[in-house]
Amino acid sequence: MTTQSCVTEKAQSSGLKIETRSIDYVPRHERHGKVWHQGPFWFTGNFVLTTMVTGFTGAALGLALPYAILAIVIGVCLGTFCMAFHANQGPRMGLPQMIQSRAQFGLRGAIVPFTAVVFVYIGFNVFNVILATDAINTVIPGARAPWYTLMIAIAVLIAVVGHDLLHTVQRWLTYLMISVFAVLTVSALLTLQADTAVADAHFSWSAFLIQLSAAAGYQISYSVYVSDYSRYLPHQTPSRQVIFWTYLGAAGSALWLMSLGAFLASALPSPDAIASVRDVGNQLIPGFGTFTVLIAVPALVGIMAVNCYGAMLTGISAIDGFKSIQPTLKSRVTGILLVAVVIFLIAMNIPESYLGSFNTFVLLMLYFLVPWTAVNLADFYLVRKGHYAISHIFNPAGIYGRWSSAGLLAYFLGLLAMVPFMSLSFYQGPLSQALGGADIAFVIGLAVAGLVYWALTRNLDLEAERLAIQASEQQLEGGAQ
pLDDT digits (tens, 9 = 90+) for 9-60: 333 433 457 888 888 899 999 998 899 999 999 998 888 888 898 899 888 8
- Backbone phi, then psi, for 428, in 5-degree steps? -135, 120
Q: Which residues of the chain have pLDDT under 70?
A: 1-16, 352-359, 479-481
pLDDT digits (tens, 9 = 90+) for 202-248: 898 888 988 998 898 889 888 888 999 999 999 999 999 999 999 99
pTM: 0.87
pLDDT at position 357: 67
Note the CATH number of domain 30-362: 1.10.4160.10
Q: Which residues contact 275 (CB under 8 A, 6 or more apart)?
A: none
- Backbone phi, then psi, for 423, in 5-degree steps? -135, 100
pLDDT at position 434: 87
Burial class (CB in 10 A: 0-12, 13-18, 19+), 212: buried
pLDDT digits (tens, 9 = 90+) for 57-87: 888 888 999 999 999 999 999 999 999 999 9
Distance CA 363, CA 365 (A): 5
309, amino acid identity: Y
Distance CA 97, CA 94 (A): 9
Distance CA 154, CA 406 (A): 41
pLDDT at position 3: 37
pLDDT at position 1: 35
Distance CA 158, CA 312 (A): 13
Other residues' Cβ atoms within 10 Å of the Cβ of residue 91: 25
User: DSSP 3-state assignment of 428?
Assistant: strand
pLDDT at position 198: 80
